[in-house]
Amino acid sequence: MSGRLNGTVALVTGASSGIGEATALSLAAEGASVAVVARRKDRLDDVVARIRDTGGTAHAFGADITEAGEAEAVVARVVEELGRLDTVVNNAGVMLLGPALDTPVAEWQRMVDLNLSALLRVTHAALPHLVSAAADGRRGVADLVNISSVAGRVATAGAAVYNLTKSGVTAVSEALRQELAGKHVRVSAVEPGAVLTELTHHIRDGVRDNIEAWYGGMESLRPEDIADAIEYIVTRPRRVAVNELLIRPTEQV
Ligand code: NDP
């Protein structure tokens, strides 16, 4: 496999479905050796098999990154087994929408634990390796791509804690970008609008139908559309950093 990411190692969280899966396929097609991370190991094995069938390189790392020590452990395993780390796509997330009055507090906690805490812990563990990769890699640059959301920019009723987590991801991305710019580690926030994935499947009964009707009422994005944007970001020349990318379906208002 020959491409613009030859010789690099990429770690993609939440790569067992949706945007993460499409991103893993896309980065592997550019020559990256891709570590796919999520809980559903069978789905990861399937992604790895599809990448290998097309001549790419990928490895499955089953992990629940919200469990104590798991985020750090999976980053360490990837570096130990694949030798380096050039690209991290912090993509794993949940969107448990619904009015605050009826929401079980466990749903809020789940979003904070995954969308914020796990993302921070993967980032903290990965940063020294990204700095090293930028310093010694052929490309002279490394990438941390955080998947935020339109919901990180615009707060709406029924999305309060999802808004909290995604606006946090966008804010952290900008601060880290400033800190790491001099070390040639680029930090980007990607903010998708409606993308047809399994994300809505986890919303509780009584709320899910309305949300899925909204997604279905327009020509929503496909996971490949966001993977395409991520591929664009991480294949820019060393001098070019795409700091933030907001991508809505054309029909989304
Ligand atoms: P999916 O539900 O298809 O993907 C979510 C991924 O996260 C899955 O691979 C899931 O794998 C993984 N995941 C969930 N919990 C954990 C965990 N505890 N540990 C490790 N991995 C976990 O949805 P999307 O592809 O849509 O979502 C990807 C990202 O995009 C999310 O951050 C989401 O907020 C964001 N986004 C999505 C939008 C959309 O409309 N779809 C719009 C804006 C942003 P597994 O269950 O196997 O662990």
Number of the ligand 1 atom closest to the C-alpha atom of 39? 48
Between the CA of residue 41 and those of 46, 56, 63, what are the distances in Å? 9, 19, 8
Q: 31-68 burial, b for 16+ CB within 10 Å, e for fewer?
A: bbbbbbbbbeeebbeebbeebeeeebbbbbbbbebbee
From the list 162, 186, 226, 227, the catalytic residue is 162
Tens-place pLDDT, residues 134-144: 999 999 999 99
| Binding pocket residue ranges, ligand 1, CB within 6 Å | 13-20, 38-40, 43, 64-66, 91-95, 114, 147, 149, 192, 194-195, 197-199, 223
Tell which residue, 193, 192, 149, has the closest CA to residue 171. Answer: 149
Q: Which CATH architecture has domain 9-247?
A: 3-Layer(aba) Sandwich (3.40)
Active site residue 215: no
State which ligand 1 atom lies nearest to the alpha carbon of 43. 47
CA 199–ligand 1 middle distance (angstroms): 6
- Tens of pLDDT, residue by residue over 71-88, are 999 999 999 999 999 999
Domain coordinates in residue numbering, the chain = 9-247
| The pLDDT value given to residue 1 | 62
Q: Is the pLDDT of residue 155 over 80?
A: yes
